[in-house]
Protein backbone atom coordinates (compact mmCIF):
# COMPACT_ATOMS: atom_id res chain seq x y z
CA UNK A 1 0.00 0.00 0.00
CA UNK A 2 1.22 3.48 -0.94
CA UNK A 3 -0.45 6.81 -0.21
CA UNK A 4 -0.55 8.45 -3.60
CA UNK A 5 -1.92 11.93 -2.92
CA UNK A 6 -3.92 14.29 -0.80
CA UNK A 7 -7.47 14.54 -2.13
CA UNK A 8 -8.96 17.22 0.08
CA UNK A 9 -8.60 19.24 3.24
CA UNK A 10 -11.71 20.14 5.24
CA UNK A 11 -12.35 23.26 7.30
CA UNK A 12 -15.23 23.91 9.68
CA UNK A 13 -16.92 27.29 9.26
CA UNK A 14 -19.55 29.12 11.29
CA UNK A 15 -20.92 31.29 8.47
CA UNK A 16 -20.73 29.68 5.04
CA UNK A 17 -21.48 32.93 3.18
CA UNK A 18 -18.66 34.79 4.94
CA UNK A 19 -16.23 31.90 4.38
CA UNK A 20 -17.26 31.52 0.72
CA UNK A 21 -16.60 35.24 0.14
CA UNK A 22 -13.03 34.74 1.39
CA UNK A 23 -12.32 31.60 -0.63
CA UNK A 24 -14.01 32.89 -3.80
CA UNK A 25 -13.47 36.65 -3.78
CA UNK A 26 -10.06 36.87 -2.09
CA UNK A 27 -8.46 33.57 -3.11
CA UNK A 28 -10.30 33.25 -6.44
CA UNK A 29 -11.34 29.62 -6.01
CA UNK A 30 -14.34 28.46 -8.06
CA UNK A 31 -16.96 26.38 -6.23
CA UNK A 32 -17.49 22.81 -7.42
CA UNK A 33 -21.13 22.34 -8.44
CA UNK A 34 -20.72 18.57 -8.01
CA UNK A 35 -20.98 18.63 -4.20
CA UNK A 36 -23.83 16.31 -3.19
CA UNK A 37 -26.40 17.17 -0.52
CA UNK A 38 -24.74 15.95 2.65
CA UNK A 39 -27.40 17.18 5.06
CA UNK A 40 -25.47 20.31 6.11
CA UNK A 41 -24.33 23.44 4.29
CA UNK A 42 -20.97 23.33 2.59
CA UNK A 43 -18.90 24.14 -0.47
CA UNK A 44 -16.16 22.27 -2.30
CA UNK A 45 -13.37 24.12 -4.13
CA UNK A 46 -11.00 22.64 -6.67
CA UNK A 47 -7.31 23.39 -6.13
CA UNK A 48 -5.04 21.89 -8.72
CA UNK A 49 -5.80 18.59 -10.39
CA UNK A 50 -7.92 16.22 -8.33
CA UNK A 51 -7.51 18.15 -5.07
CA UNK A 52 -10.07 20.13 -3.12
CA UNK A 53 -10.79 22.26 -0.09
CA UNK A 54 -14.08 21.40 1.59
CA UNK A 55 -15.93 23.87 3.80
CA UNK A 56 -18.49 22.44 6.22
CA UNK A 57 -20.89 24.58 8.22
CA UNK A 58 -21.27 22.34 11.24
CA UNK A 59 -20.77 22.97 14.97
CA UNK A 60 -17.10 23.45 15.79
CA UNK A 61 -16.03 21.40 18.83
CA UNK A 62 -13.07 23.77 19.30
CA UNK A 63 -15.02 27.03 19.62
CA UNK A 64 -13.10 29.39 21.86
CA UNK A 65 -9.78 27.59 21.44
CA UNK A 66 -6.87 30.06 21.36
CA UNK A 67 -4.96 29.73 18.06
CA UNK A 68 -1.27 30.68 17.74
CA UNK A 69 -0.64 34.08 16.12
CA UNK A 70 1.60 32.51 13.44
CA UNK A 71 -0.21 29.91 11.33
CA UNK A 72 3.02 27.95 10.91
CA UNK A 73 2.69 26.92 14.54
CA UNK A 74 -0.84 25.64 14.06
CA UNK A 75 -2.31 22.87 11.95
CA UNK A 76 -2.66 24.15 8.41
CA UNK A 77 -2.81 23.20 4.78
CA UNK A 78 -0.06 24.39 2.42
CA UNK A 79 -1.06 25.49 -1.06
CA UNK A 80 1.21 26.27 -4.01
CA UNK A 81 0.55 29.62 -5.65
CA UNK A 82 1.76 30.57 -9.15
CA UNK A 83 1.95 34.35 -8.52
CA UNK A 84 3.02 35.05 -4.95
CA UNK A 85 3.06 38.84 -5.43
CA UNK A 86 -0.51 38.82 -6.78
CA UNK A 87 -1.62 36.87 -3.70
CA UNK A 88 0.04 39.44 -1.42
CA UNK A 89 -1.74 42.26 -3.28
CA UNK A 90 -5.12 40.47 -2.96
CA UNK A 91 -4.64 39.85 0.78
CA UNK A 92 -3.52 43.45 1.36
CA UNK A 93 -6.49 44.84 -0.62
CA UNK A 94 -8.90 42.67 1.38
CA UNK A 95 -7.29 43.62 4.70
CA UNK A 96 -6.33 40.01 5.46
CA UNK A 97 -3.48 39.79 7.97
CA UNK A 98 -0.62 37.41 7.21
CA UNK A 99 2.84 36.52 8.43
CA UNK A 100 5.79 35.52 6.29
CA UNK A 101 7.21 32.04 6.63
CA UNK A 102 10.08 31.79 9.08
CA UNK A 103 11.70 29.04 7.00
CA UNK A 104 13.25 31.42 4.48
CA UNK A 105 10.99 30.11 1.70
CA UNK A 106 8.85 32.53 -0.29
CA UNK A 107 5.72 31.68 1.66
CA UNK A 108 3.16 33.23 3.97
CA UNK A 109 0.49 32.20 6.43
CA UNK A 110 -2.96 33.70 6.87
CA UNK A 111 -6.25 32.69 8.44
CA UNK A 112 -9.69 32.44 6.93
CA UNK A 113 -12.63 34.16 8.69
CA UNK A 114 -13.01 31.10 10.96
CA UNK A 115 -9.34 31.11 12.07
CA UNK A 116 -8.34 28.14 9.90
CA UNK A 117 -4.64 28.51 9.00
CA UNK A 118 -3.53 28.48 5.37
CA UNK A 119 0.02 28.49 4.05
CA UNK A 120 0.78 29.74 0.56
CA UNK A 121 4.10 28.78 -1.01
CA UNK A 122 5.46 30.30 -4.20
CA UNK A 123 5.49 27.66 -6.92
CA UNK A 124 8.06 29.58 -8.96
Q: What is the pLDDT of residues 72-103, one digit of tens each?
A: 899 999 999 999 999 999 999 999 999 999 88
Domains and CATH numbers, the chain: 8-59+66-122 (3.10.180.10)
**Is the four-CA dihedral 49, 76, 83, 92 of positive or negative sign?**
positive
Chain-centre distance for alpha carbon 79? 8
pLDDT tens digits, 44-72: 999 988 999 999 999 988 888 899 888 98
- Residues 6 or more apart whose CB falls under 8 angstroms from that of 100 comprise 107, 108, 109
Residue 5: is its pLDDT beyond 90? no
pTM given for the model? 0.92
Higher pLDDT, 5 or 79: 79
Amino acid sequence: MNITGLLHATFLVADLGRAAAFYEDVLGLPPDAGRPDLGFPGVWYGVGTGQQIHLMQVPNPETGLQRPAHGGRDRHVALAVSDFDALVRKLDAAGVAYTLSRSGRRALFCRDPDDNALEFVSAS
